[in-house]
Amino acid sequence: MKRLLASTLAAALLVGSAVSATASTLPAGVTAVPLAVVTNDRDASVSRLELMVDAQATVRGIYLETTANSASAPTADSGQVYPLASIESQDGVVLGQGQGVKAIFLRGSIASRDGQGSLVIRYLTNGVFKHYSECKIGLERLGPHDWQLVNAYDGQPIQQIEVKTWALGISTLENVCPTA
């Protein structure tokens, strides 16, 4: 029974960076500013994490676009819009889930005028005991329509995030979380 639960959970977690809501396109009037490419060790899907910025250089939210392959789910390419108000809410937004298991959350604040953001990513490390870990991420504006993610622990820019999994959840988010 325990082995079945572990393998079911492992299959459910981050089959790609499966998004939790209905797919949508980038809203009119906003530009997508690339932040990072997100991959995982479960399949060959690739997600692009982008900041949504309007013509006045005000951040409107985050857009996550996933390109799937034939062996991954979702089976089609998809995009998801996460409004800034939802990211800044107490619970944040669900970036990844599988079969009803919420695996990755993002919350924080982004100040367009100051050109700074402070984000926290929370991820499921053990699905049996529902244990989560979290890591901090900085966000900096380099220009009106140019932003970058910054590792809050070593100050290095983050261009790729690799989701590393194990049988019961996610072991780490490489390039984001400090190494043990």
Please name which of 43, 50, 49 lies closest in space to residue 14, comparing C-alpha atoms. 43
Percent with pLDDT over 70 in the chain? 82
pLDDT tens profile 133-150: 999 999 999 998 899 999
Amino acid at the residue 31: T
Residue 85 φ/ψ, nearest 5 degrees:
-60, -35
Asked if 161 and 38 touch (Cβ cutoff 8 Å), the reply is: yes
Structure tokens at 45: 């899907």
Mean pLDDT of the chain: 85
pLDDT tens profile 67-113: 976 555 555 678 999 999 999 999 999 998 877 889 999 999 999 88
pTM exceeds cut of 0.75: yes
pLDDT value for 23: 59
Domain ranges in the chain are 2-174
